[in-house]
Amino acid sequence: MLQATDLSKSYGSQLLLDHISFNINSRERVGLIGRNGHGKTTLFRIIAGVEDPDTGTISLPKNYKVGYLEQHLKFTQDTVLKEACLGLRPEHKEDFWRAEKMLSGLGFAGADMNRHPGEFSGGFQVRIQLAKVIAGEPNLLLLDEPTNYLDIVSIRWLERFLIDWKHELILITHDRSFMDKVCSHTMVIHRRKVRKIEGSTEKLYDQIIKEEEMYEKTRQNDEKRQKEIETFISRFRAKARLGGLVQSRVKMLEKKEKMDKLEKIKSLEFSFRAAPESAKWTVEAQNLSFSYSGKKPFLIEKLNILVDSQDRIGIIGKNGKGKSTLIKLFAGILQPSGGETKTHPNVKIGYFGQTNIDQLHPLNTVEEEIVSAHPERNYQEARNIAGSMLFEGDAALKKVSVLSGGEKSRVLLGKLLVSPSHLLLLDEPTNHLDMQSCDSLIAAIDSFEGAVMIVTHNEMYLSALVNRLIVFDNGRVFVYEGGYSDFLKDVGWQEEADLKNKDLSENSWKAQKKARAELVQEKSRVLKPLENQIKEIEKEITRMETGLHQDHQELINASTKSDGPEIARLAKKSYQDQAKINTLYEELTSITEQYEKEAERFIG
């Protein structure tokens, strides 16, 4: 359905895409992977028509629409409904019910439609943007890091939604498990080229590794063979009787294309340093309560937990419920409103928080910022750590003020690496990192010899790392003694349980069977009259809008002629006709909503 041919794109001397070609076929869901800065978002912008390629073309079928959910959320309207209506196709720009229907399907209540988008959590803001994109009925959906603003419950919802998506999809995300569950194909931007296969990210990376290993062996063999031929030529050039053999080998070398050595692609190198003299426990919460006002209702209330020296604790829950606040309480950045937190006197804490990016000194270089975390370390050690964070050579002398959000996150991680710790407090450390960097970070956390408390929405990391959980759900916070998989099986999320119980109560097998038999009989009787009413109203609206347009033209002519009586007559008639049209639209909306509501009974 989409054909990209010979695409190239560069910015200055940096070449991102080098004459790439690929197809996205009907109903394929494609995960787009690659290192940060290698061109994923640029490719999205080219497909969406936001940017032009230096060479090549994007070919789409006639009337094929691309819906693009950008990484950064931007709202321009003062209500949720108005914002979603911006995505409607031109021919449907007055059909606000289409946007309202989409918002309802995404969990917005009727009272939410007139609220400002900024009043909602990040997860629901993504849903507003998604409703806006989907309301335009796209054939291809482009999603650039949609999980960045979502909490774990919203990610699970989006996962189910995309699995049911019936059209084409291209997805960028650093969440490997999310991508592999949602996508049927994987495509990578690697060495400025594109590769696409059917299957998972692991399958594609394994294939690339094997091919590059084979390439390198072939290159080494060719290099060895070339040296042998050059030695033969040098040795026997002066031998007249071997002149033919020498010349044939000279021609062989001239014809043979040289295989260049593959450019080394740098990876983040994590290794957290455990401080010596560890204690049996690190921190403890006793009846811990907190609210920013200092009074009830508390964000955290009467939490009790003792964190052992080897614990791996995941802090999970919806956004805005207190996860980052709890991390700050253990880090000593915030003070409890009730109860207390205790830190073992010998314990050293390493803290990573997204808000700490704002505390980086803009005039410091990368290496100066790393040294500031542990002044006893010298600049050579700081330079080595900067290199492991992909700030090699002179890049370590970059000022913090010129760094991107992802680069600043790497500086924060570098500051954490330089200081030995007994306990790591990590608040969403994988944000702004690409998939390979996330894997390196998680491996480093897994091998760290101290304790870890981590806020993350990535279910794969939770399943792989943690042995205990602090859960924020259903208005309370509690400790679950076990891993994430056991939590889902034994407890689960309240919101999902409510939906499941609702489905079970309303859609039992016998009730479905009986209801379907009744609905088949009622379908024609109920829906046909509503369909006829909708068609008649739409026909009448079209007729009146055509007449209104003609009246407007006549009104312009009368104004030109300064014909007062005619102007008054036409203005009055236009006002009355517009009022009738508005009434018809209200009636159409009401009947359409009734139709949609009734039609839902016949689905399936």
pLDDT reading at 89 higher than 80? yes
pLDDT attached to residue 239? 65
Residue 396 lies in a domain: yes
Residue 509 tokens, joined = 């097998």
Angle between helices 96-105 and 122-135 (to 10 degrees): 140
Q: Final residue of a domain: which of 255, 289, 316?
A: 255
Q: Please return the burial class of 514, using the count of CB atoms within 10 Å of its CB with bins 0-12, 13-18 and 19+.
A: exposed
Phi then psi for residue 132, to 5 deg, are -65, -40
Average pLDDT over residues 47-55: 94
Q: Which amino acid is at 156?
A: R
CATH number for the domain including 383? 3.40.50.300
Residue 260 lies in a domain: no
Average pLDDT over residues 37-66: 93
Residue 266 lies in a domain: no
In terms of domains, do 371 and 474 share one? yes
In terms of domains, do 30 and 130 share one? yes
For 380-393, b/e burial (b = at least 16 CB within 10 A) is eebbbbbbbbbbee
In terms of domains, do 343 and 428 share one? yes
**Regarding predicted confidence, which is higher, 107 or 392?**
392
Convert the pLDDT of each residue in 231-271 to its tens digit: 878 777 766 666 677 677 777 777 777 777 777 777 777 78
**Regarding predicted confidence, which is higher, 42 or 588?**
42
In terms of domains, do 210 and 136 share one? no
Looking at the whole model, is its pTM more than 0.75?
no
pLDDT reading at 519 higher than 60? no
In terms of domains, do 328 and 468 share one? yes
Residue 172 lies in a domain: yes
Domain with 133, as residue range(s), is: 2-205
Convert the pLDDT of each residue in 339-348 to its tens digit: 999 999 999 9
Highest mean pLDDT among 210-224, 309-323, 575-589: 309-323
Convert the pLDDT of each residue in 389-415 to its tens digit: 888 888 889 998 888 777 888 888 888
In terms of domains, do 219 and 286 share one? no
Q: Final residue of a domain: which of 470, 499, 528?
A: 499
Strand-strand pairing, 2-11 and 55-59: antiparallel
In terms of domains, do 553 and 442 share one? no
In terms of domains, do 151 and 30 share one? yes
In terms of domains, do 479 and 492 share one? yes
Residue 273 lies in a domain: no
Convert the pLDDT of each residue in 309-359 to its tens digit: 999 999 999 888 899 999 999 999 999 999 999 999 999 999 998 767 777
**Neighbouring-strand partners of residue 67:** 141
Per the structure, the count of domains in the chain is 4
pLDDT attached to residue 506? 45
How many other C-beta atoms can be found within 10 angstroms of the C-beta atom of residue 86? 15
Residue 530 lies in a domain: yes
In terms of domains, do 199 and 222 share one? no
pLDDT band at 512 (very low <50, low <70, confident <90, very high): low
DSSP secondary structure of 503-565? HHHH--HHHHHHHHHHHHHHHHHHHHHHHHHHHHHHHHHHHHHHHHHHHHHHHHHHHHHT-HH
In terms of domains, do 85 and 156 share one? yes
Q: Final residue of a domain: which of 205, 224, 240?
A: 205
Residue 168 lies in a domain: yes
In terms of domains, do 174 and 60 share one? yes
